[in-house]
Chains A and B, each alone.
Chain A
Amino acid sequence: MLENRKYVVIGFFCLIGVLYLARLFYLQVLDDNYSLGASKNSIKRVIEVPYRGQIYDRTGTKLLVDNTPVYDLYVTPKQVRISDTAAFCRLMNIARPDFDSIMGLAVNYSKVKPSLFMRRLSKEDFARIQDALVDYRGFSPKISSMRTYPSHTMATTLGYVSEVSRKQLDEQEYPYYRQGDYIGHGGLEQQYELELRGRRGVKFMMQNVHGVNKGSWKDGAYDTVAVAGQNLITGIDVDIQQFADSLMQHKVGAVIAIDPATGEILASVSAPTFDPEMLSTNSFSKSYMSLLRNPYRPLFNRPIMASYRPGSTFKLIQALLAQQDGTLSPHTVYGHAGSPMRCHCRGGQDLRGAIGNSCNPYFYQVFRRMIYNNAERNTFKASAIGLAKWHEGVEKFGIGQRLGVDLPSERLGNLPDVPYYDKMYGGANRWKFSYVSSLSIGEGELLVSPLKLANLAAAIANRGWFITPHYVRGFGRAGAGLPAEYTQRHETGIDRAYFLPVIDGMRRTMVNGSARSVNLPTIDLCGKTGTSQNAKFGHRYDHSVFVGFAPMNDPKIAIAVFVENAGWGSDVAAPIAALIAERYIHKRTISKHVATRMMNAYYLPPAESGSMYRKPAPRRSRTDSTRTGQPRRTDSIPTPKALAPKPLMTNQPRPVQSAGLAGN
């Protein structure tokens, strides 16, 4: 009887055995959560950040943006053996309490995983401590790189690199970036992010329970190699760029120079500027807010983002369109009579003279005839028809639209059309020529960016066509991988013949016209001054504008200069443009006295926080700075005088090497 109990015992053993086998089958075969849990546990994706592409000048030799190796020093607290902490602190150049707090944080994080001990040691600092580090166990360097800017220029155009924002992380379509990744912000860094960043590599590493690496997983079968980013070759000529920077100091405004034959941008100044190193990641947070609060808005990239009235420079387009329209011949003469506009010339000139002397009444008549050049007898209806046609013609120069330059945030500007005025005057046929006549001299509702005016100069220099202005001329090398839109000619729809009298007139501007006082004999510059109305809107001074190109018969450079609150075009904008063209053509500055005068000219409006453009300011020249005679620094941001001055730049400003007068 009791012997039968052995079946109960064996049965019980088997019952438990079967129960366990069933449980194991469920855990191991049916439920794959545990398998996933295992790979999450022990296999870690290690991201290899590729080398970000560098940005070069037009020769492909000078660097605008460079990567500098820096060393982050990591500490693994468990391995640390420091016999003499004081000596170690001296070596690291840190105070003892700092050392203690860093180590405390590291220990709190993990005793066996490396934590950051010191961030971004320069090559020199690292070289100094490298040998000594051998004696201190537990410290390991990790190389990374930092953006540096050897040319110290074009801060707003280049943009900067910083950590990807929360918003960008949420909005990306393909989840490439992760928290803490670096991304290009603004300027070329943002525009060419895809090319510059390269492709990230992924390594699968096995790690133990403490997160310590234990070698590659499956011998790297699933690893991908990081691909370095492409270098950008820009069209920038560093020499004239830095020269233009120095000319634009103490001024608010923009300079943009284009190679008319290719559309490549040679120089691009947004004044006041700052040293791009300020936004290099190390000092980013410190500098960014102060730049943002600066009343002169140094972060605003004026060449493509500012909107100005073109002023008299717009007369060039009027002359071209009217000739094409057949309402103007080079020999047409208009006097001052019949025009409500005042003028400073004697009147009674032909087209060449009218451009040279920038005769307002002349272009009033030109525009009037153009607008009314149709069969419609009703002046209201005729104005609408004429303006529509005019609008079509102006549009072809890229006015009122985005040109398509390779930077984010280019502005539209404004080119008023018929619906615009219909809306403005409360319905169709409620306005006519006399309402909009200020358009004839580039005032009124017109708004253009400096880039668009430079492009106009390039189109005139080319006698009829332009290539969309662009910064980048190739990836890796000049010409490689350039998008088709930057090699394609855009026709302006104006016959070549009609350009010739206009160009003659532009040459006359320099020789005996509105800019004769600042004509440089060294170059045959063709230009047009402009005075962008500003005083009328509550300011004391107008903006000084100049567009031009040189040399006259084989144009190498087209240029537009805006200087805010500087008065007439011939006062400031024209000589700056001439100096830049001279330097570009002759590779040196011949007219040194003009250059000195321009560098020292002070046109900063006194700024009051938030409303700097409202209060008129006395024009003055800064005598204290003329005395120094030293090469000027481009990377200092003027501090508004009305505010308690607090220096913006805390780091050492760097002199621009080749700018100024010392050279050649």
Chain B
Amino acid sequence: MPRSNDPFSQDIDLLTLVLYLGCITMGWLNVYAAVYSPEDHTSLFDFSTNAGKQMMWIGTSAILIICIMVVNHKFFDSFAYLIYGFMILLLLLVLVAGANVKGSRSWFKIGSFLLQPAEFSKLATALALAKYIDQPGINLSKGKDLLYVCGIIALPCVLILASNETGSMLVFASFVIMLYREGLPGWIPAVGISVVVLFVLALMFPLLYIFIGVVVLLGLIVLLMPRYNRNISNLISLGLVGVGMMVVVVGVDFFVNNVLQKHQRNRIKVLVDPTVDPLGVGWNVTQAKIAIGSGRLHGKGFLEGTQTKFDFVPEQSTDFIFCTIGEEHGFIGSAVVIVLFLGLLARIIVLAEKQRSRFARVYGYCVAGVIFFHLMVNVGMTIGLMPVIGIPLPFFSYGGSSLWSFSILLFIFIKLDARRNALARW
């Protein structure tokens, strides 16, 4: 019997495990701090509070992890499409049978617990993508293969969007990182990033200024171009780029003002100007920044935060958990968390590159991409660098669905990696 089936095998990457445990523990303590009330000194294990429930989610996550460790590694490979199909079914079902929570029909209500299939769809999509790309001869620079890949990603996106969970949908953009690694032509993410930059610029400045900026930029490029490159076809393509950029800008302007709903528009506009909605989204951002800023270098100390404790920051144990860290543990604490995440991400990338199977590597990159996207958006919104998008901070935010899904996501990769280690030794 191969040792890899032993869940407590030393083949498990210890560094990843330690980083995971570190995140979970800090997350739990911060959820406790976020809901702690100085008046009635709630216990860390009080099951009526989020901290107590989070303890329970951690315990059940441990059981899930053991399950993952026990099943055969081939399971994920073999059943990838089945899991994906099952998840699509769930996403369809939730549209019909889901409970309405805060205006989005994306939760299953089981007893008193809420389960969000969208959280798990990332994981299923990652498996399906890994399975698809693992096929021999798949080349992402080919249009047909890329189309299939996009289809796999787009299907759950559409369903999640239908259940009004824009935040969770945006996470699927993170698969670009994996696709880039697997051979997606570099110009596609480059265009994507340019579009995002133009998007932000279009929000900040009037259209005319951006047009002038684009023309000046293109003019400079033409001037600096070596003379022998200044042929008609190059100039035409540059011109097309310029027109494309202007189309994007006009499109953004139209999209923001005519297509988006008001609360979505505010979430975006508030990014560049917090005064747009001073009592709504802008208030959240301002309060989040105040909470984090008031932590200074060392923080106010565990359970000593005033902004997060007294409900100035909304959603403090879920989406805005980073405020508690920033307020109570200061810059040092925030930096520790960010460095911890970067360490975990780097470790996952390094491990992914070591994988022998393309399946494991693709999956690894998906895991890294999803975690990174959550980190970037979640922390970014609390410090005013990202629009307020309701997605959790992995391993930190309170919530069973998110903790389970991230634990499973990560540990399937650890399982795959453990298999590689066992094979290498064998």
Interface residues of A (CB under 8 A from B): 2-3, 5-6, 8-10, 12-14, 16-17, 19-21, 23-25, 27-29, 31-35, 37-39, 41-43, 206-210, 214-215
Contacts and interface: CB of A to CB of B under 8 A. Distances in A.
A16 B376 contact: yes
A439 B326 CA distance: 85
A208 B36 CA distance: 13
Contact of B342 (A13, A23, A34, A208): A13
Contact of A34 (B181, B289, B353): B289
Given A8-B180, A17-B342, A41-B307, A34 B297 contact: no
Contact of A21 (B39, B183, B335): B335
Given A17-B338, A21-B335, A24-B334, A207 B294 contact: no
B38 A28 contact: no
Contact of A24 (B341, B372, B383): B383
Contacts of A20: 338, 376, 379-380, 383, 385
Contacts of A34: 289-290, 292-294
B46 interface: no
B345 interface: yes
Contacts of A21: 334-335, 338
B326 A28 contact: yes
A219 to B, nearest CB: 11
A42 B306 contact: yes
Interface in B346-399: 346, 349, 353, 365, 368, 372, 376, 379-380, 383-385
A34 B327 CA distance: 11
B372 A13 contact: yes
Given A27-B326, A31-B293, A42-B310, 14 more contacts: A5-B181, A9-B180, A9-B181, A9-B368, A10-B345, A10-B346, A16-B372, A20-B376, A24-B335, A24-B338, A34-B289, A38-B307, A209-B312, A215-B38
B325 to A, nearest CB: 10
A42 B182 contact: no
Contacts of A12: 177
Contact of A9 (B183, B290, B294, B349): B349
Contact of B296 (A10, A28, A214): A28
Contacts of B331: 24-25, 28-29
B98 interface: no
B292 A27 contact: yes
Contacts of B177: 9, 12
Contacts of B383: 20, 23-24, 27
B338 A33 contact: no
Contacts of B287: 41
Contacts of B345: 10, 13
A2 B358 CA distance: 13
Contacts of B307: 38, 41-42
B296 A29 contact: yes
Contacts of B334: 21, 24, 28
Interface in B305-356: 306-307, 309-312, 326-327, 330-331, 334-335, 338-339, 341-342, 345-346, 349, 353
B295 interface: yes
Contacts of B39: 214-215
A16 B345 CA distance: 12
Contacts of A28: 292-293, 295-297, 326, 330-331, 334
13 contacts: A9-B365, A9-B368, A20-B385, A21-B334, A27-B383, A28-B295, A34-B289, A38-B293, A38-B306, A41-B290, A206-B310, A208-B312, A215-B39
B303 interface: no
B326 A2 contact: no
B180 A35 contact: no
Contact of A208 (B286, B292, B293, B310): B310
B291 interface: yes
Contacts of A208: 309-312
Which 10 pairs from chain A and chain B are nearest by CB? Answer: A34-B293, A38-B294, A208-B310, A42-B306, A28-B331, A209-B311, A37-B290, A35-B294, A27-B293, A17-B342
Contact of A38 (B181, B290, B339): B290
A33 B296 CA distance: 11
A31 B384 CA distance: 14
A31 B376 CA distance: 22
Interface in B222-243: none
A14 B287 CA distance: 27
Contacts of B312: 41-42, 208-209
A8 B179 CA distance: 13
Interface of B: 37-39, 177, 180-183, 286-287, 289-297, 306-307, 309-312, 326-327, 330-331, 334-335, 338-339, 341-342, 345-346, 349, 353, 365, 368, 372, 376, 379-380, 383-385
Contact of B289 (A27, A32, A206, A207): A27
A25 B333 CA distance: 11
A209 to B, nearest CB: 4
A210 B310 CA distance: 9
Contact of A5 (B180, B338, B346): B180
B278 to A, nearest CB: 13
A609 B307 CA distance: 62
Contacts of B309: 208, 214
A300 to B, nearest CB: 53
A10 B349 contact: yes
A39 to B, nearest CB: 8
A164 to B, nearest CB: 31
A214 B310 contact: yes
Contacts of A9: 177, 180-181, 349, 365, 368
A42 B353 CA distance: 49
Contacts of A42: 306-307, 310, 312
A102 B339 CA distance: 56
Q: Which of A5, A29, A38, A206 has the most CB atoms of chain B within a 10 A radius of its CB?
A: A38
Q: Which of A9, A12, A35 has the most CB atoms of chain B within a 10 A radius of its CB?
A: A9
Contacts of A6: 181, 349, 353
Contacts of A33: 293
Q: Which of A10, A16, A27, A208 has the most CB atoms of chain B within a 10 A radius of its CB?
A: A27
Contacts of B327: 38
A502 B183 CA distance: 124
A33 B345 CA distance: 33
Contacts of B385: 19-20, 23
Nearest to A206: B306
Contacts of B335: 21, 24
B342 to A, nearest CB: 5
B150 to A, nearest CB: 19
Contacts of B338: 17, 20-21, 24
A41 B290 CA distance: 9
Contacts of A14: 342
A13 B345 CA distance: 8
B334 to A, nearest CB: 5
Q: Which of B291, B310, B330, B339 has the most CB atoms of chain A within a 10 A radius of its CB?
A: B310
A170 to B, nearest CB: 30
Contacts of B296: 28-29, 32, 35
B47 to A, nearest CB: 24
Q: Which of B293, B310, B380, B384 has the most CB atoms of chain A within a 10 A radius of its CB?
A: B293
A24 B383 CA distance: 7
A209 B290 CA distance: 13
